[in-house]
Amino acid sequence: MPARPDAAAHAKPHRLELAFADPKAFLDEYARNLVRGGAMIRSEHRFALREIVEVALEAAFAKGALRLRAEVVHASSGSVAVEFLEATPRLRELLEPLRAQAERLAPAPPPPTPSRVGPAPAADDDFSLALDEDELVLGLEGESFDLDDDPAKPAATPQGFETNAQAGTTDPNDRTFRARAERSNARVRAAVRGPTGKSLPAVTRDVSSTGMLLSVEGEELPVGREVQVSIQHPTSGEQLTVPAKVVRHLAADGVVGAVAVELPTSAQTQDLERFVTEVRQADAQQRSAGIRGPLEELGGASLLQMFAALSQRGTLAMSHGVEEGIVVFEAGCLRHARIGSVTGTKALARMLSWRDGLFEFRAHVDPGDATEAGVPMEAAILDALRMLDEGQRLSGPLLPPAAKLVVERSQLSTTGPALGKTEQAVLELASAGFTVRRILDVIPENDAAIRAAISALIERGLVRLA
C-alpha cells in the first residue's frame, strides 16, 4: 500500500543525546543555552531546518533524565542547534531540580589569582575582554595573550599609567595600563573628540572611573593626545563627557585595534563613579541575555544566518586579535556592519574571513547603529563571500598589512596606460606614508580591487614595498 502523503509528518523524530556526567558542565550549558530555551548538540546526522527532534537530556550526576521535543534552527558539520518546544517558564521548571543538584555537587570555583585586577567572571561568562595590569585578556575564560614578553619588567605599582623608562625604553607608546579602580568589560556607545573638534564614534571595551579601552572609528589617535570622551548609558541614553589622554595603542598587522585612555584625577568624581557603575550594571544585564562563544566552531556566515533566522533584530560583535567588528540586522536585513573606519559589505567580508576569535550576540539594536538601508541578509552574505573569493584568486606580490609603499617619483612622468581612480588614490596615500592596511581602510573600494591596484603599480615600477 502506498504511503499516505502525511506519513512523514507522523514519523518518529530523530533522537539526540545531551549527556552531562559532570555538574559543572551542566551548569555551564544551563547558563549559556538551556536557560534561554535552546542547546547546541554534537551530531553527525544531517538535519533539515525546522525538523522536529527528540532530545534525551541525561544528568548522570543527579540520576535524572528528561525527554524534550525541539526544533532544529541551525545545522552544520558535526553539530546542530535546537530550540525546545516547551515554553521557557515550563522548561526552567523542568530543569530546576537538575540545576539545584548540580550547584550542590559542583566544586567551588578557585579563588582569583593575585595578578587579576578585575572581578572574577560571572558563572555565565564565556569570555572576557579587559585590559589588566600586564596582559590583554581576550578569549575563552582563563586564556590570555601577553602583550609584553619582557620577563624582567618591574612589578606593577598602583600609580596609574606610567612608562617603562626603568626598563630602558623611551618609546612614548611603551606603557603599562596600571589599575587604580575596578575595571569591567562593558560594550557601550561612546564618542571621542580631539583638539580639532571632530567627533569620532567609538565603542568601549573596558570601563572604569580611571580609564577606558576604546575601539575608535576613523583616524588613529596618537599616544599623548588630549581628548574628550563621551560615554552613553545603554538604556537611559544619558551621556557623560570627561577629559582623557590617549596612553596606549593595541596594534597589530598595521592597524590600531583599540586605544587605552587615562582619566585625570580631577575627573574622578562621585558622579563619574556612579555613572560608570550604572553603565556596567546595564551592560551586564544585556550581556546576560546574550550568547557568547568561540568564532571557529560555526564561522561568521553560519552565525549570522542562524541569529537572523532566530531573532527579529540583533547585534553580533566579533573579535579577532586586537580587532573588533559589529554586524547589525533587523527583520532579516543587514542594517550596519563596521570594523574601525570600514563599513558596509566591505567590513562584513573582512569579518567573514576571520577563522578564529570570539563572538557575542545580543537581541538588541542600538538606534545609532541601524543607519543604513536594509539589504537582505542572505544577499549581503553572498556579496561578502564573493569579495573574499575575488581576493583569494588574486595573484601578485605579498602585501604585508604593516608594510609601506615607496613612490618612485622618477617613473611617474613616463608614458604608459592612464592610471585608474583606485591607482591614483593608492599613490596619494602611499605618498602620505600610509601602510597597506590603512590604504585598504581608507579607499572605499573592496579590498580585492585595492590590492589589484597596488600590484599593478608595483608591476609598472611606480611603487615598491619599503
Burial zone of 71 (CB within 10 Å; 0-12 exposed, 13-18 middle, 19+ buried): middle
Q: What is the mean pLDDT of the chain?
A: 78
Which residue would you say has higher pLDDT here, 122 or 316?
316
Q: Which CATH superfamily is domain 127-147+178-286 in?
A: predicted glycosyltransferase like domains (2.40.10.220)
pLDDT tens column, 441-457: 999 999 999 999 999 99
Mean pLDDT (whole number) for 80-89 = 82
Q: Which of 326, 322, 321 is nearest to 364 (CA)?
A: 326
By the 8 A CB rule, do 297 and 283 touch? no
User: Quick one: pLDDT band at residue 11, thresholds 50, 70, 90?
Assistant: low
User: Quick one: pLDDT band at residue 314, thresholds 50, 70, 90?
Assistant: very high
Q: What local confidence, expressed as pLDDT, does residue 112 receive?
A: 43
Reported pTM = 0.59
Mean pLDDT (whole number) for 35-47 = 84
Whether residue 124 has pLDDT greater than 80: no
Mean pLDDT (whole number) for 226-238 = 91
How far is the C-alpha of 56 from the C-alpha of 220, rounded, in Å?
Answer: 53
The secondary structure element, H or E, covering residue 325 is: strand 323-330
Q: What local confidence, expressed as pLDDT, does residue 329 receive?
A: 93
At residue 177's C-alpha, the angle toward residues 119 and 343, to 5°, is 90
Q: What local confidence, expressed as pLDDT, does residue 110 receive?
A: 53
Residue with cell 585608474: 420
User: Quick one: pLDDT band at residue 147, thresholds 50, 70, 90?
Assistant: very low
Which residue would you say has higher pLDDT here, 139 or 405?
405
How far is the C-alpha of 46 from the C-alpha of 215, rounded, in Å?
Answer: 40
3-state class of 204 per DSSP?
A: strand
Report CA-CA distances (Å) from 226 to 198, 264, 322, 374: 13, 11, 23, 37
Identify any residues that bridge with 193 across adjacent strands, giving them in sequence order.
199, 228
Residue type present at position 140? L
Mean pLDDT (whole number) for 283-306 = 87
User: Quick one: pLDDT band at residue 186, thresholds 50, 70, 90?
Assistant: confident
Mean pLDDT (whole number) for 80-93 = 82
How far is the C-alpha of 330 from the C-alpha of 241, rounded, in Å?
Answer: 30
Backbone phi, psi, residue 412, to 5°: -65, -25
How far is the C-alpha of 281 from the C-alpha of 334, rounded, in Å?
Answer: 29
| Nine-digit cell string for 275 | 555613572
Question: End-to-end CA distance of the chain, in Å?
Answer: 77
Whether residue 6 has pLDDT greater than 70: no
Whether residue 170 has pLDDT greater than 50: no
Q: Which residues contact 136 (CB under 8 A, 6 or more apart)?
A: 130, 144, 145, 147, 250, 322
Q: What local confidence, expressed as pLDDT, does residue 157 receive?
A: 30
Whether residue 301 has pLDDT greater than 60: yes
Report CA-CA distances (Å) from 352 to 9, 224, 380, 386: 37, 34, 11, 11
- What is 8-105's CATH topology? Thrombin, subunit H (2.40.10)
Range with lowest mean pLDDT among 174-178, 220-224, 280-284: 174-178
pLDDT tens column, 375-417: 888 999 999 999 988 888 887 788 888 899 999 888 877 767 7
Most confident of 80-94, 182-196, 311-325: 311-325
Buried b (16+ CB within 10 A) or exposed e, 281-307: ebbeebbeebbbbebeebbbbbbbbbb
Residue with cell 536557560: 35
